[in-house]
Homo-oligomer: A and B are copies of this chain.
């Protein structure tokens, strides 16, 4: 019974248990790459699958694919297919996704501040 946070929240909501507001948000961008994906789509605009693969370096094919799928299920990004050959697919933020951006920006700022702090304290070189 080791449910994922995402599943657990989905079940809770279906059962009318709404006391999980912060977990709900966390459940959307927890996952090793989701904030990074959202950040790039939100700040730099639409990206193609292979662009992101090159950009994120180290992310595996399957993992990228999965994370994109879940973000789509959660309604924060969307997928548009252009009828070309070779196929072109672009991922971009939805309106809902953009409402999440301020949070990610705060996370960015906090991380930046904290890294500076650690440097000043000599805890990292």
List chain A positions with a Cβ less than 8 A from chain B. 5, 13-14, 16, 18, 20-26, 29-30, 32, 35-36, 39, 96, 99-100, 102-104, 106-115, 118, 124-125
Contacts and interface: CB of A to CB of B under 8 A. Distances in A.
A24 B104 CA distance: 12
Contacts of A125: 14, 16
Contacts of A26: 29-30, 35, 107
Given A5-B32, A24-B111, A102-B106, 17 more contacts: A14-B124, A16-B124, A18-B115, A21-B110, A21-B111, A22-B36, A22-B39, A22-B107, A22-B108, A22-B111, A23-B36, A26-B29, A30-B30, A99-B110, A99-B113, A103-B103, A103-B106
A21 B118 CA distance: 12
